[in-house]
Amino acid sequence: MNELLEQFLIEGRDLVAQAAADFAVLSRDPLAAGTIDSAFRAIHTLKGSVGIFPMGPAERVLHAAEEVLERARKGTVPLDGPAVGALTACLDAIDRWIDELERTGSVGDDAEAAGAAAIARLPSLANDGAAARGASQAWIGTVAERAAHVIASATAPVVLFRYLPSGDCFFRGEDPLGIALAVPELLALEVQPVEQAWPELDAIEPFDCISVLEGVSGGSLDEVKAAFRLVSDQVQLHVVAPRTEVAGTVQSDTSRFLRVEAARIDALADDLGEVLLAANALAPIVEAAGRIDPALAARIRAAQSEIESKTAKLHRSIGRVRLVPLAPSLRRLPRMVREIAQSVGRDVRFAMTGENLEVDKQIADGLFEPLLHLVRNAIDHGIESAEARARLGKSPEGTVSLTIARDGDAVRITLSDDGAGMDLARLRAVAVERGLLEAEAAQDLTDAAALRLIFAPGFSTAKALTEISGRGVGMDAVLSAIEKLRGTIEVESVFGQGTRFILRLPAKALTTRLLVVEVGEDRYGVALDQIVETVRVGSDALVPIGAGIACVLRGKTVPVLDLAALLGGDAVPGPVAKLLVTRSGSDRVALRVDGLAERLDTVVRPPSALLGGLPWVSGSAVLGDGGVLIVLDLPELAA
């Protein structure tokens, strides 16, 4: 069952995501026939899938939702806003139960009540008995659970049946057991009591049938119906697709798809890192050989070039294998928005675009939690109440938008809301109150720097913690999570109009492209995605401004910091200044270095031991000669 469950968790969530996308379209255009059909197929397939597991409430909810969509397809009951909202609530319940099934193996004790509440919201079901029909499907999960080993090994659809003979069937000459045994391709059969347990012997009426016969057949639906044709009013049937067809995908085509554990891909990536180190080790060997035997050095250099070419090709191939769409990682966000908004009494519309963009698995895995915290804050502290928005002339419904797009070799993720925005005066005042800044220093902050105060540990302008956003996780944790992914985060806000967070993350995380820089006699690595540009200017272009130095680049004044001084050394000015331009928040800052050396692709290890306590160190890399290269965090140094 573990393999079957794993398959269901993947494909069930895909179906939930498909239905959620369809419901989002239907909320804007309830008459979109193609979208109604798509949603119906997703719900129908999902209903067949959950029947294999102990998810009776889920199956009843999906059956009821399927009824609504079927009638919408036929035009007998039109979909409207409340109907789509009720369908979305049903899907949210299914989504939660899938998560619960993965964690605990069941849907939880409150599932029956939650399922009944979800069904009750659906339109017109109480009038036509659809809810009752949904409730009558509980047997499917029970039979599927008992015969799980049979269903798991099936290579074609199987038919589950429940035969409840009439109490006086023996007087009519019927033989329930004989009828059940005559079912074609019978794979499993159990006889159970009609009630919860068999009655005491002295309470049994010997001429009454008190049994129900449940089983599984490998025959077709028509063949099973034919076997029960004389007692068709006493039989319920249900078709379950085999594992390879749970979601209507082509998983059975092993020539096209191969499912591999993520840990094996990660191990392969680690091995590639070792190969890169070995390849980098050839450079000093070539240099040494050139001093002894130039011809031999040329041959080694040719071999090195070939190895580097093949290694680069392998790197690209493994990188493509690790690419996954962001959608599965972010699939819970729409549901979380609805639940958070409901809990704080806000009316919020959530829009997400670009979620199918592919990124490295490490980025996809680490992105959900920081985004969820940003969303919580946007709803709890950003979006005003409907009454407050009406007084301000805003729509009663707030908007939170998540936009994902490619930005060169990086991914740009923008989360914006049209809420209250941030009060810069309040941010400065809180920084002074918390002892983070002196009053004069707070007033001297640029607006961009004042906004970044929210990332300081323990900084909050909230007068009271709430159940939603006051969970001991501040914006400093969000910043830390993003930086751990080698990303950056910027914030823009207009008081009274809203706030926007811009996250920029590398699309690939397998290896890091480094620029080696020279600072005095030392060498350091800098991630290329942290460098806006490298510039060489004459020393006379550096102009003292106040207590610092700046230069004009592309028409803008940019502060210049000496990297040697930042690292505790002595700056040695020369006639030409070599500058690394990076970003500190939304501002550009230039760092002066003594030299720019080679570029290399390598694996950057997280900082540990003594390096772990240095905030300006993002990690270390092993060079080909066995030396260790400290990798700097430029934005941290420039802050």
Task: Give yes or no: residues 551 and 629 share one domain.
Answer: yes
What pLDDT, on the 0 to 100 scale, is given for residue 190? 92
CATH number at residue 409: 3.30.565.10
CA-based nearest residue to 559, from 457, 449, 451, 453: 449
pLDDT category at 388 given cuts 50, 70, 90 is: very high
Question: Does residue 341 form part of some domain?
Answer: yes
Confidence of residue 585 (pLDDT cuts 50, 70, 90): low
CA distances from 389 to 10, 383, 399, 420, 602 (A): 40, 8, 12, 9, 51
User: What is the pLDDT of the chain when averaged over all its residues?
Assistant: 83
Same domain, 488 and 522: no
Arithmetic mean of pLDDT, 376-399: 92
Strand partners, 323: 360
Poorest-pLDDT segment among 57-71, 296-310, 609-623? 609-623
Q: What is the pLDDT of residues 323-344, one digit of tens each?
A: 888 888 888 888 889 889 988 9
Largest CA distance in the chain: 111
Whether the CB-CB separation of 552 and 558 falls below 8 Å is answered with yes
Look at residue 249 in the predicted model and tell me its pLDDT: 36
pLDDT at 229: 87
Higher pLDDT, 569 or 117: 117
Residues 527 and 472 in one domain: no
Q: How large is the average pLDDT for residues 365-374? A: 91
The predicted structure's pLDDT at residue 472: 39
- Residues 335 and 231 placed together within one structural domain of the fold: no
The reply to whether 253 falls in a domain is: no
pLDDT of residue 627: 76
Short-list 111, 28, 104, 102, CA closest to 62: 111
| 257 lies in some domain | no
How far is 526 from 636, CA to CA, in rounded Å? 12
* pLDDT average, residue stretch 178-182: 93
DSSP-assigned letters across all residues of 212-254: EEEEEE-S-HHHHHHHTGGGGGGEEEEEE--GGGTTS--TT-T
Q: Which amino acid is at 473?
A: V
3-state SS string over 447-478? HHHHHHHHHCCCCCCCCCCCCCCCCCCCHHHH
b/e code 439-450 from CB counts within 10 Å (16+ = b): eeebeebeeebb
Range picked from 346-360, 558-572, 615-629 for highest mean pLDDT? 346-360
pLDDT at residue 233 greater than cutoff 70: yes
Count the alpha carbons within 13 Å of 549 in the hemisphere toward its beta carbon: 15
Choose the most confident range, by mean pLDDT, from 170-174, 242-246, 272-276, 593-597: 593-597
Q: What is the torsion angle, in degrees rounded to the nearest 10, for the CA atoms of residue 140, residue 143, residue 145 and residue 150?
A: -120
Asked whether residue 234 falls in the same domain as residue 296, the answer is: no
CATH of the domain at 222: 3.30.70
Same domain, 400 and 544: no
Containing 335, the helix (H) or strand (E) segment is helix 333-344
Digit-coded pLDDT (tens) for 45-79: 888 888 778 888 898 899 899 989 988 887 777 78
Q: Which of 506, 538, 567 is the last residue of a domain?
A: 506
Q: Is the four-CA dihedral 536, 539, 542, 547 of positive or negative sign?
A: positive
Instruction: Identify which has the larger pLDDT, 137 or 451.
Output: 451
> Residue 539 maps to which CATH number?
2.40.50.180
Q: Tell me: the pLDDT tens digits for 459-508? A: 766 554 454 444 435 788 898 888 888 788 889 999 999 999 999 888 77
Dihedral class, residue 293 (left if φ above 0, else alpha if ψ from -120 to 50, else beta): beta
Contact yes or no for 373/324 (Cβ under 8 A): no
**Residues paired with residue 589 on neighbouring β-strands, in sequence order:** 582
Inform me whether the pLDDT recorded for 401 exceeds 50: yes
**Does residue 415 sit within a domain?**
yes
pTM: 0.64
304 and 330, same domain (yes or no): no
- The DSSP result for 191-205, as a single string, is EEESSSSPPPGGG--
pLDDT of amino acid 462 = 59
Flag whether 233 is in a domain.
yes
Tell me, what amino acid is at 538?
G
The reply to whether 438 falls in a domain is no
pLDDT for 92-113, tens place per residue? 999 999 988 888 888 888 888 8
- Residue-level pLDDT at 609: 64
- Total domains, the chain: 5
**Mean pLDDT of the region 9-23:** 89
Query: What pLDDT, on the 0 to 100 scale, is given for residue 203?
Result: 65
Whole domain around residue 18: which residue ranges?
Answer: 2-136
pLDDT of 265: 80
Report the CATH number that the domain containing residue 47 is assigned in CATH.
Answer: 1.20.120.160
pLDDT average, residue stretch 584-612: 80
One domain for residues 482 and 335? yes
Express each pLDDT in 276-293 by its tens digit: 777 777 878 888 888 899
Q: Strand, helix or coil at 283?
A: helix
Quick one: 299 and 380 in the same domain? no
Distance CA 39, CA 352 (A): 18
For residue 199, the model assigns a pLDDT of 67
Does 93 lie in the same domain as 32? Answer: yes
Answer whether residue 595 is part of any domain.
yes
Residues of the chain above pLDDT 70, percent = 89
Q: Are residues 287 and 413 in the same domain?
A: no
In this structure, the answer to whether residues 528 and 552 fall within a common structural domain is yes
Residue 427 in any domain: the answer is no
SS3 of the chain: helix, strand, coil, percent, to 5: 50, 25, 30
Please say which residue of 316, 338, 353 terminates a domain: 316
Query: Looking at residue 251, what is its pLDDT?
Result: 39
Q: Which of 79-88, 155-164, 268-277, 573-582 has the lowest mean pLDDT?
A: 268-277
Query: What are the distances in angstroms from CA 577 to CA 338, 375, 591, 637?
Result: 54, 43, 10, 18
What pLDDT sits at residue 624?
A: 63
Question: 444 by DSSP, 3-state: which?
Answer: helix
pLDDT at 137 over 70: no
Q: Is the dihedral of CA 585, 588, 589, 591 positive or negative?
A: positive
Last-in-domain residue among 136, 166, 192: 136
